[in-house]
Structure 1
Amino acid sequence: MKKLIITIAISFSAFCATAQETNKPLINISGHADIYYGFDFNRPFSNERPDFLFNHTRHNEVNLNLGLVQADIDGGFYRGSLGLMVGTYAQYNLAAEQDLLKNVFEAYAGVAIDKERKLWIDAGIFASHIGFESAISSENFTLTRSLLAENSPYFLSGAKMTYTPNSKWEFEAGVFNGWQRIQRLPGNTSPAFGTRVTHTPTENLTLNWSTFIGNDFPQEDKRMRYFNNLYAEIQLSQKVALILGFDYGIQQEALESVQAGASRGFEHWYTPIGILRLDFNENWGMAFRGEYYQDQNGVIIEANSPDGFRATGYSVNLDRKISQNILFRIEARQLQNSTPNFLQDGQLVQGNFLLIGSLAITLP
């Protein structure tokens, strides 16, 4: 009994000391601005690039892709973030949300539920657990986002649990309002779920598997979606890095398309990608990207071609770090569909070529 009392007293003292520490949370204010000019050689009359792209979407004009101000709080056993944004990314990527929500980048709060702070619960609007690319341009190997990133969630809303037992493993599971939705789709009453497993066996290798399961339609036309995202980040040398990724998803056919007496099948899409990053020195670097996206049934990308979306993409970008906080980039990107799919002068063509420059400023 005496040992038990001593143990309880020590634990209580440690808890009180921790509570005192959390009375003075760390607050970090940061900002980001990504100003760009892009020229689409298909010269879209509306000055809007293809509607399956949500970053750097305007043609032949100087514009702001993302302007972000964010406050992050770390209270030891609690944390939170509030980020507000403007720009064409917010305009196009959150077009389906209510007006008051269209400028929310992140808004969540979390609490640690164990003494060692290995297990956290967060709730609100937060960055998606899917993929290796961020909406913040300077955090990525390339200037523009991949087809893989543009057509999977950048953000999710709901609640998630994250467990980090050690430096090599991290696990996440969550319940969400839908596939990149802040508010649930009208008529949809079914929650969505997702998981993530990240393994870092060495400091030069990161492996990730993320999933999403849910219905993104009203209940009368419920179509279950099952999605997998896999990628590996490999630091080949001090100046050479490689990302290899693969997405695969399936979704139930629409009820109206199923013939009487037939079983309900699935439509699928997939996309492989590889990005090679070269750093010449502290100020200069470049990256090469190759990707392919196939969605013949229009599950994610509705194509202009009757044969569906089957596009190969290539890009090369050159980066110049002007200072620790300022990054200038220029990129050339070619998308080529297997059949005519992109609009040019009122006609469908197979290719789409973009030349784009960006100046990204990050503070602090």
Structure 2
Amino acid sequence: MKTVTKSILLLTMGAAISIPSFAQQKGEPFEGMDQTWQNGNDRRDSSVFHIPYFTPSLMVDVNYTHSFNKPNDNTVVGSTALARNNEVELSALHFGGDFEFKGARARIMTQFGTRSQVVPRNDLSPYRGQYSLANVYRNLSEAYVGYHFNKWNGINIDAGMFMSYVGLNSYYQPENWEYQASFTSDNTPWFFNGVRLQIFPSKYLKIEGWLINGWQSYGKFNSMPGFGGNITWVPKSNVKLLTNDYYGTDAANIPQRKRFHSDNSLLVRYYNKPESNGISRMAFSLTGDIGFEKGGGVNGFSNGDSSKGPAQYFASAMFYNRIWFAKNKIAWTVGGGVMTNPGRYLVLYPTGQASPLPNPNNPTQTEGAFPFSANPGDPFKGWDFSTNFDFMPNQSITFRVEYVHRHSSVPYFAGPGGVTSQTGYTTSALDPNWRPDLVKSEDRIIAAILFRL
């Protein structure tokens, strides 16, 4: 990372980018360490903007994905990265930036495109109370204010909506090694709404605490908030270790049901010759998650006591290896992951929430009519594999082609009959015998252009 003598560090998904400031810092977190290679991190080494008090940011994500299942409604299910098959899709348009003046700070990033519909659809907290929280926040990916204390290597206190680090992958696709996230990332939260405290005791270490509304939820499901935190240790430029841990109550109107989740990642760059025209860099990322829900009719990892309900837990892992070529302008990534989630409490619903009620976040003709069950103990296992090639002529643009295979133990992905109607259109009168066509596997090819400035 290029260092700037007078700068404040932007820290979102763990990335560190120097941006201009008039306040002299005593130290900078991860100062002098190259993190541009890391999965889930900003791959830029600096911002092109040099504007006092404000650093703009613009990201555009356009993709085309071909599903070999060829659903008749062109709808992708079970993904937060994709929404439409066999169409050019503006997945995400983000613009905003970072403000800083004498320690006061704020970050605002808008979001438009299909992700502004897909991700809020997975938050059911707007069912509680009035006002459509999904629509209020739909076009914001990040919006928080805070203060930077010039102590040790920095202390930040922020309040608002900020990114989650759970599952390693970044919400912003230009920061990820793969496009379609593995189950570990896609089924864990992308954002939190609440307060965070970041402490950097040294340039190698970040300790962060959260007091939030809940697990990727705009509002709260019960009276107790969610608690959690992150510890990130970067002992040197080629190694990164982190853990994220969460505790909360996220089952609507079941305050007795408590959730715990632990997410842990190791990233290692094991080869680095950035000026080589051959292989210029090699690295891997390994992530393992484990968690459970207990109380209110479910019993964590145990099936032994029927009076307490069936087991309800989450266990997953994912591994990716990436090789860069031609002075880091070309890269090849291969990897995948596995997941088991009895009770399906973190599985993305492919045909609406497990409720007979219509979902106000995503009204369609069939929403809620054919719910994907998520009853205590309902089994779900999945695994995935992907490989891609990236061409990156500069630090602001990536051209990516990716192949993905995903498989589940129960019918889950959209089959040829789609999930909308027998014709694929919401305007068609439903055949009373029609049901969403869910299948156990899917294969797809994704082509994407990712831009960041």
Q: TM-score, normalised by structure 2?
A: 0.70
CA shift in 2, pair 1:172/1:43, >3 Å: same
Stretch deviating more after TM superposition (168-177 or 74-83): 74-83
Higher helix share: 1
2:443 corresponds, among 353, 356, 362, to: 353
Q: Does 1:37 align with 2:64?
A: yes
Find the aligned partners of 2:66 and 2:169 in 1 and give their Cα distance.
23
1:122 corresponds, among 155, 158, 161, to: 158
Q: Which residue of 2 aligns with 1:255?
A: 297
1:64-83 superposed matches below 5 A:
64-83=90-109
1:149 corresponds, among 185, 203, 225, to: 185
Find the aligned partners of 2:298 and 2:324 in 1 and give their Cα distance.
52
Higher strand share: 1
Q: Which residue of 2 aligns with 1:218?
A: 252
Deviation for aligned residue 1:334? 0.3
Find the aligned partners of 1:227 and 1:333 in 2 and give their Cα distance.
27
1:290 corresponds, among 330, 333, 336, to: 336
The answer as to whether partners of 1:311 and 1:336 remain within 8 angstroms in 2 is yes
Q: Which residue of 2 aligns with 1:164?
A: 200
Find the aligned partners of 2:200 and 2:52 in 1 and give their Cα distance.
22
The one-character-per-residue Cα deviations of 1:100-140 (angstroms, maximum 9, x if unpaired) are 21001111011134544622211110111323211211111
Deviation for aligned residue 1:177? 0.5
1:92-131 superposed matches below 5 A:
92-95=118-121, 96=123, 97-113=133-149, 115-116=151-152, 118-131=154-167
**Paired AA for residue 330 in structure 1:** V
Q: Which residue of 1 aligns with 2:171?
A: 135
Find the aligned partners of 1:83 and 1:149 in 2 and give their Cα distance.
21
Deviation for aligned residue 1:294? 1.0
Find the aligned partners of 1:98 and 1:297 in 2 and give their Cα distance.
25
Q: Which residue of 2 aligns with 1:316?
A: 387
CA shift in 2, pair 1:236/1:260, >3 Å: closer
Secondary structure in structure 2 of the residue aligned to 1:125: strand
The answer as to whether partners of 2:182 and 2:336 remain within 8 angstroms in 1 is no
Deviation for aligned residue 1:21? 4.6
Find the aligned partners of 2:305 and 2:239 in 1 and give their Cα distance.
50
Q: Please tell me whether Structure 1 or Structure 2 has the larger radius of gyration of its CA atoms.
A: 1
Q: Which residue of 2 aligns with 1:245?
A: 287
Secondary structure in structure 1 of the residue aligned to 2:228: strand
Stretch deviating more after TM superposition (281-290 or 305-314): 305-314
Q: Which residue of 2 aligns with 1:53?
A: 79
**Paired AA for residue 122 in structure 1:** D
CA shift in 2, pair 1:319/1:161, >3 Å: same
Specify every segment of 5 or more residues in structure 2 that has no aligned partner in the other structure, as ranges: 1-21, 25-50, 124-132, 273-280, 351-371, 418-436
Find the aligned partners of 1:261 and 1:313 in 2 and give their Cα distance.
33
| Pairwise CA RMSD | 2.7
Deviation for aligned residue 1:209? 0.8
Find the aligned partners of 1:53 and 1:321 in 2 and give their Cα distance.
25
The one-character-per-residue Cα deviations of 1:183-215 (angstroms, maximum 9, x if unpaired) are 224xx2110001111111222111111011101
Secondary structure in structure 2 of the residue aligned to 1:320: strand
Find the aligned partners of 1:339 and 1:253 in 2 and give their Cα distance.
26
Q: Which residue of 2 aligns with 1:299?
A: 345
Q: Does 1:336 align with 2:407?
A: yes
Find the aligned partners of 1:249 and 1:118 in 2 and give their Cα distance.
31
Identity %: 24
Deviation for aligned residue 1:168? 1.5
Q: TM-score, normalised by structure 1?
A: 0.86
Q: Which residue of 1 aligns with 2:366?
A: none
Find the aligned partners of 2:135 and 2:164 in 1 and give their Cα distance.
21
Find the aligned partners of 1:254 and 1:352 in 2 and give their Cα distance.
35
Secondary structure in structure 1 of the residue aligned to 2:312: strand
Secondary structure in structure 2 of the residue aligned to 1:99: helix
**Paired AA for residue 331 in structure 1:** E
1:174 corresponds, among 210, 227, 247, to: 210
